[in-house]
Amino acid sequence: IGRRTWGGVVGYSGTVPVVDGGSIVTPSYAPFAADGSGWIIEGRGVEPDIEIFNDPYKEFMGEDEQLEKAIEVIKKQMKEYNYKPATIPPFPDKNPK
């Protein structure tokens, strides 16, 4: 719920200092599709399932349309989902034998 992300996901690990006090970074990792079809997200972002734009004025006034929609969707899903609590297995016997 929200807006498409900006798409900058290539990360780096560590920096190399240079004499002027700056540093050099090089791209080190990025996400790719599990099926091997290519690199994903970088330069495109992630599309939300439900696109909601927060109006800046409403947000300034305390109204968060994305949050309100998220709460609405979650409440609906909670009514529809048949939740089954996890079955806790018997605790192991740790007594010396």
Residue 28 has a pLDDT of 87
Entry pTM: 0.59
Residue 59 lies in a domain: yes
Residue 12 has a pLDDT of 87
Residue 20 has a pLDDT of 97
Residue 62 lies in a domain: yes
67: helix, coil or strand?
A: helix
Residue 87 lies in a domain: no
Give the position of tokens 């929609």: 69
What is the total count of domains within the chain?
Answer: 1
At a CB cut-off of 8 Å and minimum separation 6, what does 4 contact? 45, 46, 47, 48, 51
Instruction: Say if residues 1 and 70 touch (Cβ distance below 8 Å).
Output: yes
Q: What is the pLDDT of residues 25-74, one digit of tens each?
A: 998 888 988 998 988 888 889 999 999 999 999 999 999 999 999 999 99
43: helix, coil or strand?
A: coil
Structural domain range at position 26: 16-71
